Amino acid sequence: MEHPKENPEAFLRLTRTVDGPADAVYAAFTDAALLRRWFAPRDHEVAEAEADARVGGRHRTVVEGPDPDPHVLTGEYRELVPGERIVMTWAYDGPDRAVDRSESLVTVELRAAGPRSTKVILRHERLDTPRSSERLRAGWAECLDKLASLLAAPAPVCPPDLSSRPFDLAVERTMAAPPDVLFRAWTEQFDRWFAAQGTVLMRAEVNAPFFFETVHRPEGAAEARRHPHYGRFLRLERDRLVQLTWVTGAGGTRGEETVVTVELTPGHGGTLLRLTHAGFPDADARDGHEQAWPEALAHLDRQTAKD
């Protein structure tokens, strides 16, 4: 069916750079479960979403907000190039009288804007009036804000399953340094008190992995041995709590992902540091750490007391 001649003033074009690769952005536009999480303006929510993402397939979204009646958006996919381009028709039915009821056309183009970011170029055309264009521009801008927030959201934190490894320990020590100094020591300055200089790769962000080595020469050994440590941050509460996974080899956690939690409580003239270490593979591994952690905390106390 031939569409009436387009009003040259009645179209809109928006661009937005969002976190995430183009494939993730494409999925956000074509997966019904993801559409429910962002495809509505501010103060509105998606009540229903359907997306038969194939050429000729239909899409339908029901949006609810302050108005008593829902906003219903329907259309058909005309062109789909995964990770690159989406073209779909668009028709609106609902209480907003400023938005056209005739069928229009939406084109979304996705272009790489960096190693993990994508430029979204959205064009909405074949609109009947500039008034409709301006109303839809505002709605699309708020939707893209939600899309950017969705894609920027951190990945869910998945702590290891320790249910089959019930061996744990707890150590407490009153430290001379204040909580902020100790928090930095656990998140930015491991080589100040625990790790070998020049070996620390660490970024203090939840889900961020880290690596460092310790160097130790056993009594009677000719050479020192290097011991790699791996992990990731699970929780960070500035100057209050650090929780991280802790993985070492033989003589340590034996490759198992254990969990270390450090709680910092300010007190008179110092900080009560409580350390729990959970998920050891057996009692021997736990007992070895039960002897080692007090020595490590004593060294931490000596180093940070200088501040």
Mean pLDDT along residues 144-161: 88
- From 220-224, 258-262, 278-282, the region with the lowest mean pLDDT: 220-224
Return mean pLDDT, the chain.
92
Using left for φ > 0, alpha for ψ between -120 and 50, and beta otherwise, residue 239 falls in: left
Q: What pLDDT, on a 0 to 100 scale, did the predictor assign at position 3?
A: 44
**Residues with Cβ within 8 Å of residue 171, at least 6 apart in sequence:** 274, 275, 276, 277, 290, 293, 294, 297
Q: What pLDDT, on a 0 to 100 scale, did the predictor assign at position 2?
A: 43
pLDDT in tens, 3-20: 444 555 578 999 999 998
Taking the C-alpha atoms of residue 209 and residue 244, their distance in angstroms, rounded to an integer, is 9
User: For the chain, which domains are there?
Assistant: 12-152 (3.30.530.20), 167-304 (3.30.530.20)
Q: What pLDDT, on a 0 to 100 scale, did the predictor assign at position 8?
A: 52
pLDDT in tens, 89-139: 999 999 999 998 999 999 999 999 987 899 999 999 999 899 999 999 999
Instruction: Give me 96's structure tokens.
Output: 């907003």
Q: What pLDDT, on a 0 to 100 scale, did the predictor assign at position 287?
A: 97
